[in-house]
Amino acid sequence: MRRMTSFAAILVAVLLLGWTFLAWRAGMFIPHDGRWAVAPGAFTADGFSQQKKLITLGQTQVAYLDIGEGPPLVLLHGCPFSAYEWREIIPALAQHYRVIAPDLYGLGDTPVRLDQDYRLPRDVEMVGQLMDALGVTSADFIAHDHGGATVQLLMQSDPDRIRSAVLTNVEAYDQWPSKPELPYLRMIVNPVASPLIFQALQFEPVRREIFSIAVQDKAVLTSDVLRAYALPHIATPERWQRLRRFFRWQMDETHNDITMTALPGMRAFKRPVLLLWGERDENFGPELARRLARDIPGVRGIHYLRDSQHMPMQEEEAEYARAALAFLREGAVSAQAAAALAGARAEENAP
C-alpha cells in the first residue's frame, strides 16, 4: 500500500492512541499466545488461506495458491497485502490459466524467521525458485505495487522468465516508499508507537482508517476484507515484528535504490507489457505509468481504470479482469489504451 499524506498520518496517530486507550479501559485486547487471533475459517469469508499450499524452497517455505489449468500465470501482490488481493479476479483468470499466486516474503501466510533476509531481491530469487519447483520455465505475469518491482528486477536478472506482463500501480525507480507513506512507516517501526498500533489494529475502525487510503470506493472494504488484510500482521507478536523489519528495510536509503538497478533490463524488455492502472492513485499515478511506458519498449498500452485508486483489481474487478485477459490471451488493447501510450511517448520527444 503506497498512500499516505502527512495530515492523514497525524490523524491516524491520534485515532490509534484514542482507540488504544478505550480498548485498554474496556479490556478488549485480543490475547496472543502464538496462535491465530481468529479461527482460520474466519480469516477470509471464502477460506482463501486454506486453499494455499506450502512449498519448501531451500531453507524457507512459501505459501502460494495454485489453481486452474492452462498456460501458467503468476500473480504478484503488493505491500502490505497478500495473494488475497487477487481474490476477485482469480475465478475469471483460472478459466484460462494455471494461476500461481504466492505470498511474497514477509507478507501474507509465507513464514519467515526474524533473522532471515526478505528484502526485495530475495523475492526475485523466490519467484524463480517457485517456478522451477512447479515445472514452469516461463509465465505470464500480473503484478501490483511491490510485486511490480519484483517483475522489473526480473526483467533485469532473468527476462526469459516473462512471456508477457500486466503491471498495475507499481513501485518503480526511486519512488518507494512514497514520500507521503513515510510518516505511517515511521509509526510502525517506532518502538514507542508500534505497540499501540499493534493493539489498535485489533479494531475495525482503525483498520478501515488505514486501509481505506488505498481505494476510491470505501465500500469495497468489508469487515472480512479488512480482517484478511490486517491479520497476517497482527495474528501474533512475531508477525508484527516481521512487518516492522520489512518496513525498516524499506526506509533504508540504500534499499531505495534497488529498483533503479532494473532500468537496463526494463529498457531492453520488448515482450508485451500492459500498464493497467488505477487513475486516481495519488502517489503512483498516471505520470508514473507514462514514465514506465517510455522506459519499457514492450509496453503496448496504458489502460486507465478511471474510478480506482491504488487497487483497481478490487475496485473495478470486472473491467480489470476483462482488460487483462484480452491482453494476455490476444494481445489486445483498447483504442483508449493505445492512445494513452502514444501520448506518453510523444512527451519524450516534446521540446
**Amino acid at the residue 99:** V
What pLDDT is recorded for position 44?
52
List beta partners, residue 157.
Answer: none
* Cell, residue 20: 488504544
Mean pLDDT of 144-150: 96
**What is the β-pairing status of strands 273-278 and 299-305?**
parallel
Backbone phi and psi for residue 130, each to the nearest 5 degrees, phi listed first: -65, -45
Q: Which long-range contacts (CB under 8 A, 24 or more apart) does 27-32 make?
A: 28/202, 28/203, 29/199, 29/202, 30/202, 32/235, 32/236, 32/237
The string of pLDDT tens digits covering residues 251-294 is: 877 777 888 999 999 999 999 999 999 999 988 999 999 999 99
How confident is the model over 192-214, as a mean pLDDT?
Answer: 92
Q: How far apart are CA 180 and CA 314, in angstroms?
A: 22
| Residue listed under C-alpha cell 494513452 | 340
**CA–CA distance, 269 with 238 (Å, rounded to integer):** 39
Calpha distance 97→27 (Å, rounded): 48
Residue 4 has pLDDT above 70, yes or no: no
Greater pLDDT, 41 or 71: 71
Q: Hey, where are the domains in the chain?
A: 6-349
CATH number assigned to the domain with residue range 6-349, chosen from the 4 options 3.40.50.620, 3.40.140.10, 1.10.10.60, 3.40.50.1820: 3.40.50.1820
Ranges 13-22, 49-58, 340-349: which has the least confidence: 13-22
Give percent above pLDDT 90 in the chain: 71
Sorted by sequence, the CB contacts under 8 Å of residue 278 that are 6+ apart come out as 168, 169, 216, 304, 305, 308, 309, 310, 311, 312, 315
- The mean per-residue pLDDT over the stretch 162-174 comes to 96
Evaluate the CA torsion angle 328, 333, 334, 339 in order and state its sign. positive
pLDDT at 84: 95
* Arithmetic mean of pLDDT, 298-308: 98
Q: What is the pLDDT of residues 95-139, one digit of tens each?
A: 999 999 999 999 999 998 888 888 899 999 999 999 999 999 999
Q: What is the pLDDT of residue 180?
A: 65
